[in-house]
Chain A
Amino acid sequence: MNLKLQRFDYRSSKYERPNQDWTCGRLAQGKPCRMGPGVGGVCRAMAECRPLKKGDRWVCTRSDTSGGKCATGPLPDGSCCNPIPPCSPQPSMRRKRGMLTRYAIATIVGLLLIIGAGSYGDALFSPGPLSSSHAEVGECADCHSVSERGPLGWMNAMFSPHTEAEDVKNCVACHTQRDGLAHNQTADVLAALSEKAMARANDSRGPFTTQIAASLGVPVRTNAEGEVACRSCHQEHRGIDAEIAELTNANCQSCHTAKFESFSKGHPEFTSYPYERRTRIQFNHQSHISKYFQDDNFKNQAPATCRTCHLPDDQGKLMLIGGFEENCAACHGEFIADKPLIALTLPGLDLETLEEYEIRIGEWPVYAEAEEFSPIVDVLLAGDEDYVAARAALLEEEIDLFDLTEVEDEIMEHVVTIVWAYKGLIYDILTEGPALIQERLAENTGVELSAESVNALIGNLHLDTLTQVQEDWFPDLYAEVEAYRDDLTVSALLIEDEPEGNEFTTDSETWSEGGGWFTEGYSLNYKLSGHGDDVMQAWLNLAASPAADEGPLAEVLNQLADAKGPGGCITCHSIDTVEEGKAVNWHGRKAEPQVAVFSEFVHAKHFSLIGDQGCATCHQIDSEADYEGSFADYDSSSFVSNFKPLDQQVCADCHTAEVAGNTCTMCHNYHVGVFPPAAVDTDMMAAGQ
């Protein structure tokens, strides 16, 4: 039995065309016709052959592969004797595959059209859920300007510029404090920072990819204005839990000129960080720890540990300092109010000579003996040109007011000017009240103060106190000043008795022991109530307010900023030059959660790591440092810390990629500036309804 099925000779094996779309419907039964279906899948078979007429006879033409010529032969009419019944051609495998492919494409397109046009369109086309930070964003159009243009608009947008810039506007519509500039800084600031960084840079080439980018000349992606689009760093649609603020070290270093491999390999030295800015409160750790806290007199009051004075803020970042009462008062509290603020004092005069020369100055106490002029009075009289000229002349000539025997007439006139200016000032204050002080300060210093601020300056100085001053010093003040100003003659009358007060009552200084105004001889003084006295603060704030180091208030500041002056405030509270003048640092550094700075350190996270040395693990006192010298001026940036520079290796021991992490963003912020929390405006009336 010959069981060979497949033959390949042309007589017994017809040519197969698997590429054809249709196969004979009878193939499954193993009996396909020779002709096969037409192009459109139409059965073309009619008979097994098409007989050929040779002469007057019809001849069978059935091929050898179909069995050769049949025995019966064609019918008399020339038709084949073996007609083939029509079949239903079947699609070939290739056609079935093609159809399935087309169905798949049609299904995809159909689903996109149906779902995309419906309410789930946004969900379908969204590349993924937004992070939880942006969970409140409702529509695609909230962020993507192109969203509402529709499919044709999207295709158009592929070739249109500026859509990214439009989208950035959508970002900053909510994130109002941010812009596209790197670190929110201008190019000039960044250039200065870069220069500073390069000075500290190590010889390092940065991460591998950064090196390749440099080799290939791949620039950092910015727009024409040098701005970085938000989405360059913040990749959204990566799921609810995605950290969209995460950046790689290479991302940071692509912009930075001072490149390095990692924190432990090549990071610029800390140098002065974090001791770059002068401390607001001047406290010499070196002298206190090594000297005062060792003193037997103060040993008991000395803090036991650093935490006695320093505690972390709510975020655990800053180590805040405690208040005066808790930390300083035990040693310094009793000395604060020792020296009063001298607001008004009568200078002593050579009254005999004045009388001898018949210079009519009216009343003037014989026992007034101040050698110095009150800077506060000078400020209030700074608008009086004659007074200012007189003061300048006396100063220039180094005139001793207790000896006017040999002075020239011109100097004598200056003395008279000063006398009447003093009297006039008291007269004016008594007749016009605090409004006069407000007016004079505005005119003479340019500082516009409110009535409340003026009240803070005069510390509730009662009219009766000032009236008493007038009655004791110049009983006939009103008549004298009015006569002087009317160019009438004023008789000389010396006040020879010192004011002693009522013999039954206590003196005013004792009365004001807890703080307040009192007179001492011919001086009107203010006794500080203690630390944090409002009047002293008001005067220091006023004195420091002008930017210039000259002017009427400069002398007031010199008097008050003296370490041995009233209160000695400036011994601890430094004064900084600020944009609009100068400012007294009444408090240590405060936590500012809304402020993001370039570098930050969370102290609280590290407490469990430090060993026996405690804070000194990082902060080691530098006994050679001239800390106090940093406070000689008003420049907060010129600073010599009490502590040695931080040892970077202490951090690098843990902060590696494998242990505690060493990403730039662990310590550094990209968005630097003030970012107040978004406030919500609620119409209370509407809410109530």
Chain B
Amino acid sequence: MIITKAHFVRILIALFLAGVVFVLSETLDSALWEPAYLTGWLLFGGMIVLTFLNVRKKLPFLPLFNVRSWVRVHIYLGWFILALFAIHLDFRVPNGGVETTMAVLFVVVGVSGIFGAWLSKSFPRRLTRRGEEVIFERIPVFAAQLREAADDLASYSVEQTESTSIADFYANNLKSWFTRPADYLQHIVELNTRQYKFDQEFDTLRRYLNPKEQEIVDELHALVRKKSDLDYHYALQRTLKGWLFIHIPATYALLTLAAVHIVLVHAFTGAQL
């Protein structure tokens, strides 16, 4: 991921706006007003606006800018909200039951959001660099196709060579690997340990095979590479979708608690709406 000048400027704008709110907050505080009302409502309103990205995705037909613009607003408003959160807490660690839970959820949402933004910027580049572009929902179908192709090739090798060397090799080393997505973490961190191991084993096997068998093994090796590329795409695309399993539930849990928090604050401090 490359941070461009434009990224930097937008982050600076977000932080500058947060700085303006901080000065306003201090101004209110100096005049004995409770600035947490201002920062709190800004925070809550900002989080609501952030959730509009999800709504916008569900309503693609609405002519309300493209999703890319919404994502951009989501990210930089997110930076602003993160700074606002620190201002709202007065740069302290909260110690109430509801407030601490909210703070933990906010940190989870914020950190997962930053992580997700990084993933969204960096993983697509990696995906285009390796393997074939595939639709995530169709990966199981392609994996099944590769598995069937590998099974057929193993049977074919027995018929053509009257030897079980390749079939045995397939059964012992590859069959179970073909049955499910594998090597998730290795692909995420871009380690090719498995691929290297398979390459070594194929090279070892080739030394004992005749030319006919080597042709079949080459085809099998190509299927293995294809499966590895598919696993790579599966791992990265799953991660691209998976971080939202933390970000979104935590967001709505946070908003629920925020609503409770607002009621408690206004009721117990006597700040009439």
- Chain A residues engaging chain B, CB cutoff 8 angstroms: 1, 3-6, 16, 18-19, 23, 27-32, 93, 96-97, 100-101, 103-105, 107-109, 112, 115, 123-129, 140, 144, 146-147, 151, 153-155, 157-167, 207, 209-210, 212-213, 216, 218-222, 228-229, 231-233, 237-239, 248, 250-251, 253-254
Inter-chain CA distance A219–B267, complex, in Å, is: 23
A-contact bits for B88-116, CB 8 A (1 contact / 0 none): 00001011111101000000000000000
Q: Considering only CB atoms, which chain A residue lies closest to B26 in the complex? A: A209
Contacts of A107 in B (CB 8 A): 253
User: Main secondary structure on chain B at its contact with chain A?
Assistant: helix
> Is B269 an interface position by the 8 A CB rule?
yes
> Is B270 an interface position by the 8 A CB rule?
yes
The number of residues on chain B lying at the interface, defined by a beta carbon within 8 Å of a beta carbon of chain A, is 62
CB-based contact B256/A109 at 8 Å: yes
Inter-chain CA distance A115–B96, complex, in Å, is: 14
**Which of B32, B98, B248, B256 meets A251, CB within 8 Å?**
B32
29 CB < 8 A contacts A-B? A5-B134, A5-B230, A6-B133, A27-B141, A28-B140, A30-B140, A30-B144, A30-B147, A31-B144, A97-B248, A100-B249, A101-B249, A124-B97, A144-B268, A159-B273, A160-B272, A163-B270, A164-B269, A210-B30, A210-B31, A212-B23, A213-B31, A220-B32, A233-B32, A238-B92, A238-B95, A239-B95, A250-B30, A251-B32
Binds A, one of B120-128, B185-193, B195-203, B258-266: B258-266
CB-based contact A154/B263 at 8 Å: yes
Q: Report if A126-B96 is in contact (Cβ < 8 Å); known contacts: A5-B145, A161-B272, A219-B31.
A: yes
Binds A, one of B1-9, B164-172, B205-213, B218-226: B218-226
> Is B143 an interface position by the 8 A CB rule?
yes
> Is B42 an interface position by the 8 A CB rule?
no
> Is B65 an interface position by the 8 A CB rule?
no
Determine how close the nearest CB of chain B comes to the CB of A140; give it in whole angstroms: 8
CB-based contact A93/B241 at 8 Å: yes
Determine how close the nearest CB of chain A comes to the CB of B105; give it in whole angstroms: 9
- Chain B residues engaging chain A, CB cutoff 8 angstroms: 23-24, 26-34, 58, 92, 94-99, 101, 132-138, 140-147, 219, 222-223, 226, 230, 241, 244-245, 248-250, 252-253, 256-257, 260, 262-264, 266-273
Inter-chain CA distance A236–B188, complex, in Å, is: 48
Contacts of A233 in B (CB 8 A): 32
Q: Considering only CB atoms, which chain B residue lies closest to A27 in the complex? A: B140
Inter-chain CA distance A204–B271, complex, in Å, is: 34
Please provide the 7 A-B residue pairs with the shortest distance between their CB atoms, ordered closest to farther. Answer: A30-B144, A164-B270, A250-B30, A127-B96, A154-B267, A163-B270, A128-B95
CB-based contact A154/B30 at 8 Å: no
Contacts of B132 in A (CB 8 A): 4-6
Q: Considering only CB atoms, which chain B residue lies closest to A32 in the complex? A: B141
Inter-chain CA distance A67–B241, complex, in Å, is: 31
**Which of B137, B244, B253 meets A16, CB within 8 Å?**
B137
Determine how close the nearest CB of chain B comes to the CB of A285; give it in whole angstroms: 43
Determine how close the nearest CB of chain B comes to the CB of A216; give it in whole angstroms: 7
